[in-house]
Structure 1
Amino acid sequence: MVNYNYEADFNLVDEDKLTNWILDAIKKEGYKIGDINYIFCTDEYLHKLNVEFLNHDTLTDIISFDYTVGKIIQGDIYISIDRVRDNAIDYGVAFKDELLRVMIHGVLHFCGYKDKTPDESKVMRAKEEYYMASY
């Protein structure tokens, strides 16, 4: 099940369409859905989590907590709407496109994709683009 939670002044436009898109990506990656919780929040909210749980005193667009067991995808994905808005402007893309990228990014982490090295980042970006094109 995919759940959407709002800790910011924000609401998704089409939760059902997004859920189907996420479920399709999980299936294509060879996994099954457990529970994924998206929490849309502010910079301040996510910064506190970043400091408390990851010891990173920086702003970020997404933090994911992966509870996947075997092939059952489970986890919490925190997304700063403030960062997504700013990044969309910085990258010259539509807010919706940047939001889709970040949303699928968290799911791809749960599917085992990393982005710490240049090679890992290249693969992650290609996967993001692939799934964004299918939305």
Structure 2
Amino acid sequence: MASVDLTLAWSSEQEEKEIAPAFIEKLEELLKLAGELEGVTEGEVALTFVDDETIQDLNKQYRNLDKPTDVLSFAMSEFGDDEIQINYEDDGEDADGELAEGETVSEAFIEPLGDIIISVPRAIAQAEDYGHSVERELGFLFVHGFLHLIGYDHQSEEEEKVMFAKQEDILQKAGLTR
């Protein structure tokens, strides 16, 4: 089974917490576990840690809510009527002809699943409120964001139960307990 690739993009505005390489490995483990659980075998997730001001600006711009939030997810697979879907059909070579022998452009291209933006100050405050580690809270928010990227939501009580049960299962398997 192919794994999901994790790309971590840093925000220059996030100075609340140093993100250790060992924690990045934990996030990669969470992504792999979530992908396996949901049958997502390929794709790329861009993760950015930000401060409250940045996430509040994004929340206002994209959700018309002028307040900070803990996590935002922007799925790449949501196509509206006015968006163009790009198909990567090919003849086996990219523009530079740099593909491996027998590899096609669609095989070389890692499809972006979307972006997850996490407010580190919100995660720190919530970890304190819930009485668990900041790493557990960041892991929870990351898995929560990933499930949104692949179509889960929690608008109804039933949807929330399903989504939160999946989150808890993934976190438990990765050893990020309360």
TM-score (norm 1): 0.89
1:2 matched residue in structure 2: 6
**What is the distance in 2 between the residues matched to 1:33 and 1:83?**
30
Q: Which 5+ residue runs of structure 1 have no aligned equivalent?
A: none
1:32/1:73 contact within 8 Å kept: no
Matches within 5 A, 1:109-124: 109-124=148-163
Q: Deviations over 1:82-135 (max 9, x none)?
A: 000111112222211111110100111122211112221111111111000011
Secondary structure of the 2:42 match is strand
**What is the distance in 2 between the residues matched to 1:60 and 1:77?**
12
Closer, same or farther: CA 128–55 of 1 in aligned 2, 3 Å: same
**What is the distance in 2 between the residues matched to 1:11 and 1:64?**
22
**What is the distance in 2 between the residues matched to 1:6 and 1:83?**
17
- 1:73 to partner: Cα distance: 6.2
Question: Does 88-97 or 15-24 show the bigger shift?
Answer: 15-24
Q: CA RMSD in A?
A: 1.7
1:23/1:33 contact within 8 Å kept: no
Q: Deviations over 1:13-66 (max 9, x none)?
A: 222332133123112211123111000000000000001111111221000000
Q: Which 5+ residue runs of structure 2 have no aligned equivalent?
A: 79-110
* Percentage of pairs with the same residue: 32
1:61/1:79 contact within 8 Å kept: yes
Letter in 2 for 1:4: L
2:117 matched residue in structure 1: 78
Secondary structure of the 2:132 match is coil
Deviant stretches of 4+, over 4 Å: none
Instruction: Give the structure, 1 or 2, with the largest relative contact order (CA under 8 Å, sep 6 or more).
Output: 2
Matches within 5 A, 1:33-112: 33-68=42-77, 74-112=113-151
Aligned length: 133
Letter in 2 for 1:102: L
Secondary structure of the 1:32 match is coil
1:21 matched residue in structure 2: 30
Closer, same or farther: CA 18–38 of 1 in aligned 2, 3 Å: same
